[in-house]
Amino acid sequence: MILWWGKKKQPDPKTGETPIEPLHTSETLPSPPVTPTVVAPAPAPAPLSTPIAAPPAPIAPPEPERKGFLARLTEGLKRSSSRLAEGVAAVFTKKKLDRESLEELEELLITSDMGSKVAARITQAISKDRFDKEVTEDEIKSALAQEVSAILKPREHIVDFSVGPRPRIVLFVGVNGSGKTTTIGKVAAKLSAQGANVLLAAGDTFRAAAVEQLRVWADRSGAGFIAKGHGADAAGLAYEAVEIARAEDRDLVLIDTAGRLQNKTQLMDELSKVVRAIRKVDPTAPHDVILVLDATVGQNALGQVEAFRNTAGVTGLVMTKLDGTAKGGVLVAIAEQFALPIHFVGVGEQAEDLHPFNADVFARALVGLED
């Protein structure tokens, strides 16, 4: 499904690409806005957000004949799919689907980070009409893709940021190194390119690199930007960001937060403080709390979802770094255990490498079915 700014269209089932029709114009999308940030007139203070004075730099040189997302996702999931494909090939070469082969398949799914509950569910479903029959490797792969997609499908969710409250306040949370700041930048670039008036708030105040990284994304996309000094109060910054967004008539505020381990009570309490500060300005905010997960952590991601859901009221998920791990199957375990929408999957560093989640495309790529 899509998580873009604009009217909703269905993704192509073969490529996973989703055509975007902008909400406010039927013409070709304009270049990202480059208007300076303007704070509503006030007698005293200077504007708190940083004006964007220079034209946005390109995120990366254009790539000729860039692969479609399905190809990039399939390539990114090679480590995960290779483990499954090789295991399936070893178990189901001219062999009946008997109890022994089912046990081997279940073990293979567990070691692919899908977890024991998902593994049992999938093997039981596959054996229902095929037990004690001759099966081929391709038949098992297709059956696996079908069962994985059935688990993931209910987690597809359309979020149109152009509807609902304005400004729409979106809080991004996650542990250290999950790719949270990069994800915010990519979302900002996509939304700005479609005409959304976005303000980025650098709430990871203890990491100078995160602040600078978000500033670069703001420059590139033409978004507004607000930051404070090293170690500044993140809750205070979030409060100001919402106030500024209202004064500047922004469409969205995307707020970064410091990465924190889910088992550190003090850090999680600070996140709750950020949420309370935002609600002082808008009692209905944050309108979206997006948890960014790193696929390389495997089953540890389950504990992260549980902790952040309880602390920050997570409303949706993004999974990054699927191109650097053999643990992509953990997304299936998460989908089975938690009734949370999966908004994005990421398979690279560029904005185009972050794509709306599509259950069918992901399932086929995970088991190594490319067509």
Q: Kindly report the CATH number assigned to the domain that includes residue 139.
A: 3.40.50.300
CB-CB contact of 94 with 88 (8 Å): no
In a domain, 58, yes or no: no
Q: Give the orientation angle of helix 137-152 with respect to helix 115-127, to 10 degrees.
A: 120
In tens, the pLDDT along 85-97 reads 777 777 766 567 8
CA 288 to chain centre: 13
In a domain, 17, yes or no: no
Amino acid sitting at position 30: P
- Which secondary structure element, helix H or strand E, spans residue 76, and what is its range? helix 69-76
pLDDT at 32: 40
Six-digit token string for 351: 């904005």
pLDDT higher than threshold 60 for residue 178: yes
In a domain, 120, yes or no: yes
pLDDT at 36: 40
CA distance 12 to 135: 30
- Which secondary structure element, helix H or strand E, spans residue 100, and what is its range? helix 99-109
Q: Which of the residue ranges 21-30, 95-104, 116-125 would you say has the lowest mean pLDDT?
A: 21-30
> Per-residue pLDDT averaged across 254-283, rounded?
86
Per-residue pLDDT band for 29 (boundaries 50, 70, 90) equals very low
CA distance 286 to 263: 23
pLDDT at 253: 98
> Per-residue pLDDT averaged across 311-322, rounded?
92
Please report the beta strands in 97-206, taking only residues with DSSP state E, as ranges in sequence order: 134-135, 168-173, 198-201
pLDDT higher than threshold 50 for residue 160: yes
CB-CB contact of 289 with 295 (8 Å): no
CB-CB contact of 91 with 105 (8 Å): yes
Name the one residue in this structure whose structure tokens are 């990039």.
72
CA distance 10 to 218: 29
In tens, the pLDDT along 32-80 reads 443 344 334 434 444 445 444 444 444 444 444 456 666 777 777 776 7
In a domain, 27, yes or no: no
Amino acid sitting at position 267: L
Six-digit token string for 190: 């996509």
User: What is the DSSP track for 29-56?
Assistant: PPPPP-PPP-PPP-SSPPPSSBP--SPP
CA distance 295 to 305: 12
pLDDT higher than threshold 90 for residue 368: no
pLDDT higher than threshold 60 for residue 313: yes
In a domain, 59, yes or no: no
Amino acid sitting at position 366: L
321, burial (CB in 10 Å: exposed 0-12, middle 13-18, buried 19+): buried
Domain of 140, in residue numbers = 33-40+47-52+70-371
Q: Which of the residue ranges 131-140, 233-242, 282-291, 353-362 would you say has the lowest mean pLDDT?
A: 131-140
In tens, the pLDDT along 11-22 reads 555 555 544 333
Amino acid sitting at position 268: M
Q: How many domains does the chain have?
A: 1
Which range of 156-165, 174-183, 266-275, 334-343 scores highest in mean pLDDT? It is: 334-343
Q: Which of the residue ranges 88-92, 309-313, 332-336, 363-367 would you say has the lowest mean pLDDT?
A: 88-92
Q: Give the orientation angle of helix 265-281 with respect to helix 234-247, to 10 degrees.
A: 20
Buried residues in 160-186 as b, exposed as e (16+ CB within 10 A):
ebbeeebbbbbbbbbbeebbbbbbbbb
In a domain, 231, yes or no: yes
In a domain, 14, yes or no: no
In a domain, 163, yes or no: yes
